[in-house]
Structure 1
């Protein structure tokens, strides 16, 4: 008799996985919301940074001077379909710093020439490369000219031929 009773008993039901799935979805939603709130500055925002940015007036066109950099022609390495890179740019600076930046122009040319010659062909031919290259060149120019002298690097020509 004990054998038949054991056979007729129904197996126990498995626990539902729905609470686990709902908990996981809610945790991911909360983590995403917390990341966005922190990233956008709603919580733990840097108020000093925002106040300083609002306190400094935006540069008007009268507060800007441009220093032209002589065109550079860089020969590319052999695996490239293109043989040369023609590069021309201007440095955005303040009128007060313009003379100082012009004095340092040979060093700026040397840094840019060295940097562009050291690049791989794949780095130059990548469609999104110009933004990255511009940032790298601006950083190098700012190191050469000193802090606060060069605000931006404006690329006038970037031609592969």
Structure 2
């Protein structure tokens, strides 16, 4: 028998999986150690000190309840709304003096709403954002921190 012209192909090299296995093990070990060091407080992250800092003191100014007729004259509903404004304690007296202006802005906005806008999912969060934006325009951006809705009832 004649020998073939082509030499036999060398057997493919077996891949070694040890470096891959050692690399994965080292990554797990170092990741676990970093997590433990951060979780136990041995290492503090740059943003962590701001998260643990005491919040700035705030005062709350009560907005008197507002009752507004909502909808068409044929199908009229009433909305009862009450809220509080979160303000800096040094500015609480100034915000209280501006209560007629605050009531005017909120009354005008709530009166312009349609009943279907109040019944939509997420309506309260959207309305809160709109009212807070209007209050910041009237009172000033730095004077109002937040609007907390305490009563929102529609019959």
TM-score, normalization by structure 2: 0.63
Structure 1, unmatched stretches of 5+, are: 1-49
3-state SS of paired residue (1:156): strand
Q: 1:22 maps to which residue?
A: none
2:70–2:112 Cα contact (<8 Å) kept: no
- Report runs of 4+ in structure 1 exceeding 2 Å deviation: 57-60, 78-82
Helix, strand or coil at the partner of 2:89: coil
**If you compute each CA radius of gyration, which structure gives the higher value, 1 or 2?**
2
Deviation of residue 105 (structure 1)?
Answer: 0.9
Is 95-104 or 70-79 further displaced after alignment? Answer: 70-79
Q: How many residues align?
A: 108
Distance change >3 Å, CA 59–CA 81, structure 1 → 2: farther
* Candidates 107, 126, 129, aligned match of 2:123: 129
Q: Going by fraction, where is helix more abundant, 1 or 2?
A: 1
Q: Which runs of 5+ in 2 are unaligned?
A: 1-45
Q: CA RMSD in A?
A: 2.4
TM-score (norm 1): 0.61
SS of the residue corresponding to residue 148 of structure 1 reads coil
SS of alignment partner, residue 96 of structure 1: helix
